[in-house]
Amino acid sequence: TWAPLRTRAGHDDRPAVDISVQVQPKASRSRIVGPHGDRLAVAVTSPPVDGEANQAVLELIATQLQVPRRDVE
């Protein structure tokens, strides 16, 4: 699956970056895989149930960008 991802620099009035991601749920480990066409491939260990994989992607991106989780939506 894919979805747009938005990161903020901490405030709504600051610049944002939109990233389209290709998500692989239930992977053996969570990681940024790399480019996948015009998207960023992301693997997460969480299953695609009740938004668990989506939350895992947001947490992974926030960690990798070294920004608070609240700045990634």
Show the DSSP H helices in 1-73 as ranges: 52-65
13-36 in b/e form (b: 16+ CB < 10 A) is eeeeeeeebbbbbebeebeeeeee
What was the pLDDT predicted at 67?
87
What beta strand segments (E) does the chain contain?
A: 2-8, 16-24, 31-36, 39-43
15-73 confidence digits (pLDDT tens): 678 889 999 999 999 999 999 999 999 999 999 999 999 999 999 999 998 988 888 88
